[in-house]
Structure 1
Amino acid sequence: MRILENVITDRGSKYAVSGGPCTSAAEAKAFIKALCRNKKFAKATHNTWGLLTEDGPLKNDDGEAGAGMVILRMLERERLHNHIIVVTRWFGGKHLGGDRFRHVQGAVRIYLDDLGTS
C-alpha cells in the first residue's frame, strides 16, 4: 500500500492519496479496511476510490458525489488496470464546490506521477 499524505490543502480541507494492486471488489473492500485501520483515515470525511478490473470498472464515492468517476476516468486514460486509487479528504469547514473535483484529479495525478506511470 502506497500512501501519500497532505498532497493538497484548500480552505481547510486536506487530501491524501493511496493505492496498490487490487483485482476485485472483495480486494477493494479489504484495501479500504486496511487503510482505515489507521485512525487518521478512519476519521476522514471521504475515502473515494476507483478500480479497473477484468470484470469492469468499480468505484465508490463515499459521499463525495462524482469523485469515483473522476478517478475511473484517469485510470482509463492511463490504462492502469488492477490497481486501486483512493483519494481521502478531511473536510475543513468550507465547501469547495467544483474545486473538489480538480483536487481529486490533482491527487490522482500526484499518485500516478509518484508511481511512474506518466
Structure 2
Amino acid sequence: WPHKLANSDRLTDRKSTFFAQASVLPHPAQLPHFLEYLRALPRTNVKRATHCMYAYRAAGVAGQSDGGEGGSGDRLARLLRLTGCEDVVVVVWRWYGGVQLGSDRWKRISEVAREALNSGDF
C-alpha cells in the first residue's frame, strides 16, 4: 500500500480488544486492495478479529460497513464527516471477548478510530 498508514493503540475493555487503522484512500475502488493489505500485515493479527468495520470518504463518495457490529459503520462515517476528513478510510477491528459491552462499545470504537485519524493527521 503506497500511502501512509496510521494506527491506534490497542484498547481492551472487559476482554474485548479494539484497534483502528487509517489511511489515504484516493478512490473507493481501492478499498478492497487496502483491506487485503491490512489483513496481510505481519504482527497485527487482524485476520482473527471478530469484526471489521470501516468508513471512507473518497473522490466525493462515502461508504461504510458494520462488519457485523450493527450501526458501527454509520458512527464511523459520521466521525469522518464531522472531522472533515476527505480521501480517507478508517478501519476498526474488534476481537470479541465474550462479555457484552452495551453502549460502551460505541465509545471504544469511536475512541480508537479518532486516535488513528489523529495519529495520521487526517
TM-score, normalising length from structure 1? 0.89
Deviation at 1:29, TM superposition (A): 1.1
Q: Which runs of 5+ in 2 are unaligned?
A: none
Q: Which residue of 1 aligns with 2:53?
A: 48
Q: Which residue of 1 aligns with 2:24?
A: 21
User: How is 1:49-88 mapped onto 2 (pairs within 5 angstroms)?
Assistant: 49-88=54-93
What is the DSSP-based 3-state SS (H/G/I as helix, E as strand, rest coil) of the residue aligned with 1:42?
Answer: helix
Q: Which residue of 2 aligns with 1:113?
A: 118
Deviation at 1:50, TM superposition (A): 0.3
Deviation at 1:33, TM superposition (A): 0.9
User: Aligned AA for 1:3?
Assistant: N
Return the structure number with greater relative CO, CA threshold 8 A, min gap 6.
Answer: 2
Distance 1:35 1:79 in 2: 24
Runs of 4+ in 1 over 6 A off after TM superposition: none
Q: Is the 8 A contact 2:49 2:93 kept in 1?
A: yes
User: Aligned AA for 1:4?
Assistant: S
Q: How many residues align?
A: 116
What is the DSSP-based 3-state SS (H/G/I as helix, E as strand, rest coil) of the residue aligned with 1:36?
Answer: helix
Deviation at 1:2, TM superposition (A): 2.3
Give the root-mean-square deviation of aligned CA atoms.
Answer: 1.6
Percent identity at matched positions? Answer: 25
Distance 1:60 1:24 in 2: 16
Deviation at 1:25, TM superposition (A): 3.0
